[in-house]
Amino acid sequence: MTLAKPVMRGLLTAQIKKNLIVATGLSVISVFAWKVFFQAPRKQAYADFYKTYDAQKEFDRIRNLGLFQSCRPDGEE
């Protein structure tokens, strides 16, 4: 009995092809997961917030707290 010689010709090319296919597959899966689990919920949260957001009301609230230097709270001269 003799042992079969290992296939050495083209081994590096075959490994590189396999690694590129695996890396491409994993990157596509990770991009899809990022979009579904992080990007879409964040966009929805921003959309929900700005549906009821009133900038003028928020400005008046902060001004009445006295946090602005350039404008005084209501009732002060």
Chain segment 26-45, per-residue pLDDT in tens: 999 999 999 999 999 999 99
3-state secondary structure of 73: coil
DSSP state of 4: P
pLDDT for 6 beyond 80: yes
Tell me if 64 sits within 8 A of 74, measured CB to CB.
yes
**Polymer length of the chain:** 77
Annotated domain spans of the chain: 40-66
Q: What tokens appear for 38 in the block?
A: 């992080």
pLDDT band at 1 (very low <50, low <70, confident <90, very high): confident
CA distance 23 to 16: 10
pLDDT for 12 beyond 90: yes
